[in-house]
C-alpha cells in the first residue's frame, strides 16, 4: 500500500513551437510565458499494481488499463505500448489519478468512462468524480460526485464497478463504495442519481478498528454486469450473505438472487451465454484472501453450481481475476486471490467450469510442471534481483492478479495485471493442445512508480532514483529499461539518496525495509552498493545528505534522531541541536556545512553534522517543504514551501524571497547554466503568477518560463526534482504514481550528453587486472577453459587512510563449481577491515577470502563479486599481484 498523497516510454510532449530564448528577461507582471519542451518518461515499465484491464468488446485492439495511483492508459497496438490518459490531473485534484473503475462503451466505442478518486478518508481532500470521454480518452469531461472514491483503497481490484448498458448505451451504472449504493446516469455520464430502490449498500469492512482510517471503510458494491440478451442487470455487493443482486427489468426493480453461494465476497461477475460466473474470496484484497469459490448461475433455470477448480480441503486462497473467451463458448479462466507461495495459479476450463486445468502442477516436490514460460527480457528487473529456491521461481507468474482478460477478438491474447506490471501472451490456446504458452511483460508506456528522491550527478549515469516498492535504479540510459533495481542491500522503498558533489562516485541511499539494513553505500556512482552500518533504533529511511567531499554523512532516519558519520557510514554519532525527523541537505561546496528543516525552523551545521544551530529566519510552518543547496556556490541554499521560494547566501542565517512572481513552492533544483551565463539554472515546481506548473529560471529566479502545460501536470508531482548538471534545460520530475519524467527544451539539448562511465571519480583511478589460476598476471588473456576460476581486483574508492575494493570471481571452467577461494598479498601495509559477499581472513600481509553461503555455486562462465573496506598507510595503495583463485575453498 502506498499511502503518500498524489500520483513505457510516453510519447514526447511537444508544446507550441515558439522561439527558444534564455530565460533572463525582466520580471513582467503578466503570467510567466511558456517555452516549448518535450517530456518523456525515464523508462522503467510498470512498477505498481494494475487492478483493471478492460477490452472494449465493440472494437478490436481498443484496450484500457487502470492503476491505483497512476491514472489510466489506452493500448497503442502499432507501437505495442500504453498511452497515458490522465496526465492533465494537477496538484489541486491529485487524487483523481486513482482510478477505481473503467467502462468502455461497446456500442459507441469512442466513449469511455472512469470513476476516479484515491482515498475515501482524510488523506484525499476531494470528492471523487466520474470522467467521460467521447474520443477514447484523449479529452475528458468531469462530473463531481457527492462522496469520495477510493482508487487506492482496499477492495480496489474488485469490479468493474462502472458499466455501460449494451441495450441502451445512454445508461451507465456505478457501484459505489462506502455505503453510497448504486448510481446511474441516463445521459452518457453527464449527470448521476442514486438508484433509490437498490436494496443493499454492502457491509463488509476489512478492519473496523483500524485507527488510520484505511481499513475501516464499507467496501460497498463491487461490480455491475449486463446480460446482452435480456434486460437483466447484475450487481455484486460486499456482503458475504447477500453477494449478488439482479434486476430483471433494466433497473426498475431489484432482487436478491435465490440459492446463491454465501460466506464470501463476489470479486467478479461475468456473463457468457446463459451463464453468470462469479469468483469469490473471503476478503476484499488485493493483498490477502485465504478461501473462496467459483460459482455458475444458469440464468434460465435459476440453478447455482459450485465449479471451484480446487477442492475445499486443498484450498488456501480465494478467487478473483475472472474472464471468459467471447469466441469460444464454455471457455473461462480464473486466478487465485491470493497465492503468495509458491506462486499464483491460473485455472482454465473449456466446458463451462465442469473441469479445469492449471497453469502449473506439482510433479515431485519441490518441482513443478508448467504450461507456460516467462520471458522477461524486455523488463529484466522483474526477477526482483533474485534466483528463487524451488518451488518458488523468479520471476513469479504473478500476485494480486485481480485483472485477467481474454481478448474478445482474439482467443490467443490474454493480458493480466500484477502488483508490478502487465503481463500477456499471444498464444494462449496453446494451453489446450500442449504447446507452451509464452508470457511476456506488456507494460511499455505504463509507468506507475512512486518517486521519492532523484539525483543527477556531474559524472557517471545521468540519473539515480529512489522509488517506492521497487527501490530505485541506476539509470545508465534514460530510454532503456535497466536490468535490475538497487540491491545488495535491498532496502524496500528507498526514501532518500545523495552523492558527494566534489566526489560524485560516492552515494548513500536509505530506505524503509522492515528490518535492518536501512542504508546502502556506493563508490561507483550508484551502480553497485554495499551495506552500511546504522544507529540503534532506526525503523525507516528518512532523508540523508552527503558532504561535498564524501568525508561526512548526515542521516535523519525514522525511529531515532539525526546522526552523522565521518567513516562513510560504518560508525555513527548523534547530532545535537536538531529535532528528530528533520529533512537534511548538504552544502555542495563546503564539506563541513549541512542544512536541515523541521517544523518551521531552519538549521545549519558547520562541523560536519555534529552540532546544528537554528536560524531566526521565518520559514513556512506547514505543508510540503523541500530545500536544495546550489552546486558551485558555497553557503547558498534555497527552500520551497507554502509561503513561496526562499534563498539564503549565508548558509541559512538569513533568507530573502525569490522574485519572479513565485507565490508557492513545492520543490526547487539546479541544473547546467544557460549558454553565456555562469549561474546554475533554477527549476521550480510551484505557483508563478497564479499558475501551477514546472518552471525554469536562468537568472537566479528573477524571471521564469513555464515548461509544462495544463495537459501535462502529472498529478501529485514534485517532491522529487533534479536538474541535470550536464545538459542545459533538462529537468527530472518525480511523481507519485506516474514514474519519472525528464524534460528537454524542444529541439533537444544544446550540449551533448556525455557517455556514461561507472569508474570512480575519486582521487585514485579504478584499477583492474585479471589473474589466471596459475597466478600469472594476464590483463588481456582469454579465460582458461580448464577447470578453475579467475579473480579480478579493483579499487573502487580511496580516501586518506582507507579505501574500498571489490573482487570479481569467475568460473572459467566448463563445469559448475560449488565454492571458491581468492587470495593476494599486500605490499604496502594495507589491511582488510570489513568484507561482504565472502569471509575474509588476513595473516600478516596475506589475505584470503572464501565464498559466502549464497554465492559459492557458479555455473560455467558465471561470476560473483565480493567487496571490502581496507586501511592504508602512507600515500600509496598499490594493487596486489598476483591474485589467486581456487575452486577448493
- pLDDT digits over 772-803, tens only? 222 222 222 333 446 799 999 988 777 678 88
How high is the pLDDT of residue 755?
30
Q: Which of 869, 876, 874 is nearest to 571 (CA)?
A: 869
What pLDDT, in 10s, does the model give residues 733-743? 999 999 999 99
- The Cα 568–Cα 555 span in angstroms is 11
Angstrom CA distances, 690 to 31, 220, 639, stand at 7, 40, 19
Cα dihedral across residues 692, 697, 702, 706: positive or negative: negative
pLDDT at 28: 33
Q: Is 374 strand, coil or helix?
A: strand
Residue 741's Cβ-side half-sphere holds a number of Cα atoms within 13 Å equal to 30
Euclidean distance between CA atoms 672 and 872, whole angstroms:
37
Q: Is 653 left (phi over 0), alpha (psi -120 to 50) or beta?
A: alpha
How many C-beta atoms lie closer than 10 Å to residue 544's C-beta? Answer: 26
pLDDT at residue 837, as a whole number = 77
Residue that is written with C-alpha cell 585514485 in the block: 764
CA 529, chain centre distance (Å): 20
b/e map 824-833, b = 16+ CB within 10 Å: bebeeebebe
CA 514 to each of CA 451, 563, 858: distance values in angstroms, whole numbers, following the listed order: 19, 20, 30
Question: What is the spatial distance between Cα 23 and Cα 578, in angstroms, rounded to a whole number?
Answer: 38
Q: What is the DSSP code (8-state) at residue 97?
A: G
- What does residue 701 show for φ and ψ, rounded to 5 degrees? 90, 5
Q: Which residues, in sequence order, are CB contacts of 731 under 8 Å at separation 6+?
A: 669, 671, 683, 694, 696, 707, 721, 722, 723, 724, 742, 743
pLDDT at 668: 98
Pick left, alpha or beta for residue 569 (phi over 0 → left; psi -120 to 50 → alpha; otherwise beta). Answer: left
| Nearest by Cα to 486 from 527, 535, 428 | 527
The closest of 432, 433, 410, 434 to 424, measured between CA atoms, is 410
Largest CA distance in the chain: 91
Segments in the chain below pLDDT 70 = 1-31, 747-786, 799, 854
What is the model's pLDDT at position 396? 96
pLDDT at 334: 98
Beta bridge partners of residue 798, listed in sequence order = 803
pLDDT of residue 765: 26
Catalytic positions are 68, 469
In whole angstroms, give the CA distance from residue 502 to residue 33. 35
Question: How far from each other are the two terminal CA atoms of the chain, in whole angstroms?
Answer: 44
| pTM of the predicted protein model | 0.82
Signed CA dihedral, 683, 684, 688, 691: sign only: positive
Cα distance between residue 466 and residue 600, in whole Å:
26
Residues in the chain: 889
Give residue 31's pLDDT.
64
Match 534555497 to its residue by C-alpha cell: 638
Q: What is the DSSP letter of 720?
A: E
Amino acid at each position: 500500500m502506498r499511502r503518500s498523497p498524489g500520483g513505457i516510454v510516453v510519447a514526447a510532449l511537444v508544446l507550441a513551437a515558439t522561439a527558444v530564448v534564455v530565460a533572463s528577461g525582466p520580471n513582467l507582471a503578466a503570467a510567466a510565458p511558456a517555452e516549448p519542451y518535450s517530456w518523456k518518461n525515464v523508462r522503467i515499465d510498470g512498477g505498481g499494481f494494475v487492478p483493471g484491464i478492460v477490452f472494449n468488446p465493440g472494437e478490436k485492439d481498443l484496450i484500457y488499463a487502470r492503476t491505483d495511483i497512476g491514472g489510466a492508459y489506452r493500448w497503442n497496438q502499432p507501437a505495442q505500448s500504453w498511452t497515458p490518459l490522465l496526465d492533465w490531473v494537477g496538484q489541486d485534484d491529485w487524487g483523481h489519478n486513482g482510478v477505481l473503475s473503467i467502462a468502455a462503451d461497446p456500442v459507441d466505442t469512442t466513449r469511455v468512462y472512469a470513476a476516479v478518486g484515491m482515498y475515501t478518508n482524510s488523506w484525499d481532500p476531494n470528492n471523487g468524480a466520474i470522467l467521460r470521454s467521447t474520443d477514447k480518452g484523449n479529452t475528458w469531461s468531469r462530473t463531481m460526485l457527492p462522496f469520495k472514491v477510493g482508487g487506492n483503497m482496499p477492495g480496489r481490484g474488485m469490479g468493474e464497478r462502472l458499466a455501460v448498458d449494451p441495450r441502451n448505451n445512454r445508461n451507465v451504472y456505478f457501484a459505489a463504495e462506502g455505503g453510497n449504493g448504486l448510481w446511474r446516469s441516463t445521459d452518457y455520464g453527464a449527470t448521476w442519481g442514486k438508484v433509490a430502490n437498490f436494496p443493499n449498500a454492502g457491509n463488509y469492512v476489512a478492519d473496523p478498528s483500524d485507527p488510520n482510517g484505511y481499513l475501516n471503510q464499507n467496501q460497498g458494491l463491487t461490480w455491475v454486469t449486463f446480460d446482452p440478451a435480456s434486460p437483466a442487470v447484475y450487481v455484486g455487493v460486499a456482503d458475504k450473505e447477500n453477494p449478488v443482486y439482479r434486476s430483471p427489468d433494466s433497473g426498475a426493480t431489484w432482487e436478491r438472487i435465490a440459492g446463491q453461494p454465501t460466506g464470501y465476497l463476489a470479486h467478479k461477475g461475468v456473463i457468457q451465454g446463459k451463464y453468470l460466473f462469479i469468483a469469490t474470496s473471503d476478503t476484499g484484497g488485493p493483498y490477502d484472501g485465504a478461501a473462496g469459490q467459483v460459482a455458475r448461475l444458469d440464468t434460465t433455470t435459476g440453478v447455482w453450481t459450485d465449479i471451484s477448480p480446487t477442492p475445499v480441503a486443498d484450498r488456501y486462497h480465494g478467487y478473483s481475476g475472472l474472464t471468459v473467451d467471447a469466441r469460444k463458448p464454455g471457455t473461462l479462466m480464473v486466478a487465485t486471490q491470493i497465492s503468495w507461495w509458491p506462486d499464483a495459479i491460473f485455472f482454465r476450463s473449456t466446458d463451462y467450469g465442469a473441469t479445469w486445468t492449471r497453469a502449473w502442477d506439482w510433479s515431485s516436490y519441490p518441482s513443478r510442471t508448467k504450461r507456460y514460460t516467462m520471458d522477461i527480457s524486455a523488463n529484466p528487473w522483474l526477477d526482483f534481483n533474485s534466483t528463487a529456491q524451488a518451488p518458488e521461481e523468479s520471476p513469479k507468474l504473478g500476485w494480486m492478479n485481480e485483472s485477467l482478460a481474454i481478448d474478445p477478438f482474439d482467443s490467443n491474447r490474454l493480458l493480466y495485471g500484477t502488483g508490478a506490471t502487465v503481463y500477456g501472451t499471444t498464444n494462449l490456446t496453446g494451453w489446450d493442445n500442449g504447446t507452451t504458452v509464452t508470457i511476456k511483460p506488456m507494460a511499455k508506456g505504463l509507468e506507475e512508480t512512486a518517486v521519492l528522491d532523484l539525483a543527477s550527478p556531474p559524472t557517471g549515469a545521468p540519473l539515480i532514483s529512489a522509488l517506492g516498492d521497487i527501490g530505485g535504479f541506476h539509470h545508465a540510459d534514460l530510454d532503456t529499461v535497466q536490468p535490475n533495481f538497487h540491491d545488495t542491500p535491498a532496502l524496500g522503498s528507498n526514501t532518500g539518496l545523495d552523492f558527494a558533489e566534489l566526489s560524485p562516485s560516492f552515494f548513500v541511499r536509505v530506505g524503509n525495509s522492515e528490518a535492518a539494513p536501512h542504508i546502502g553505500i556506493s563508490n561507483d556512482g550508484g551502480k553497485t552498493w554495499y551495506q552500511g552500518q546504522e544507529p540503534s533504533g532506526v525503523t525507516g529511511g528518512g532523508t540523508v545528505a552527503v558532504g561535498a567531499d564524501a568525508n561526512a554523512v548526515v542521516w535523519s532516519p525514522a525511529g531515532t534522531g539525526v546522526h552523522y558519520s565521518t567513516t562513510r557510514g560504518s560508525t555513527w554519532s548523534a547530532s545535537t541541536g536538531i529535532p528528530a525527523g528533520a529533512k537534511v541537505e548538504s552544502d555542495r561546496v563546503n564539506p563541513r556545512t549541512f542544512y536541515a528543516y523541521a517544523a518551521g525552523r531552519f538549521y545549519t551545521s558547520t562541523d560536519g553534522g555534529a552540532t546544528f544551530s537554528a536560524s531566526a529566519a521565518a520559514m513556512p510552518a506547514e505543508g510540503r517543504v523541500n530545500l536544495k543547496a546550489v552546486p558551485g556556490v558555497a553557503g547558498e541554499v534555497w527552500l520551497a514551501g507554502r509561503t513561496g521560494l526562499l534563498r539564503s547566501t549565508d548558509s541559512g542565517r538569513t533568507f530573502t524571497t525569490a522574485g519572479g512572481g513565485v507565490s508557492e513552492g513545492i520543490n526547487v533544483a539546479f541544473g547546467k547554466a544557460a549558454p553565456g551565463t555562469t549561474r546554475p539554472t533554477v527549476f521550480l515546481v510551484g505557483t508563478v503568477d497564479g499558475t501551477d506548473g514546472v518552471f525554469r529560471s536562468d537568472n537566479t529566479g528573477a524571471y521564469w518560463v513555464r515548461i509544462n502545460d495544463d495537459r501535462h501536470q502529472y498529478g501529485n508531482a514534485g517532491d522529487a526534482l533534479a536538474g541535470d548538471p550536464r545538459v542545459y534545460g533538462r529537468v527530472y520530475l518525480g511523481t507519485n504514481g506516474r514514474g519519472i519524467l525528464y524534460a528537454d527544451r524542444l529541439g533537444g539539448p544544446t550540449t551533448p550528453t556525455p557517455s556514461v562511465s561507472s569508474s570512480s571519480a575519486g582521487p585514485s583511478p579504478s584499477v583492474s587486472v585479471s589473474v589466471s589460476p596459475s597466478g600469472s598476471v594476464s590483463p588481456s588473456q582469454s579465460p582458461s577453459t580448464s577447470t578453475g576460476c579467475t579473480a579480478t581486483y579493483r579499487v573502487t574508492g580511496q580516501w586518506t587512510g582507507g579505501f574500498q575494493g571489490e573482487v570479481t570471481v569467475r568460473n572459467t571452467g566448463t563445469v559448475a563449481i560449488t565454492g571458491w577461494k581468492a587470495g593476494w598479498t599486500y605490499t604496502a601495509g594495507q589491511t582488510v577491515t570489513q568484507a561482504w559477499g565472502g569471509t575474509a581472513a588476513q595473516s600478516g600481509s596475506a589475505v584470503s577470502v572464501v565464498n559466502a553461503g549464497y554465492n559459492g555455486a557458479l555455473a560455467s562462465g558465471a561470476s560473483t563479486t565480493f567487496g571490502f573496506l581496507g586501511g592504508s598507510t602512507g600515500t600509496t595503495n598499490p594493487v596486489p599481484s598476483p591474485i589467486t583463485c581456487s575452486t577448493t575453498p
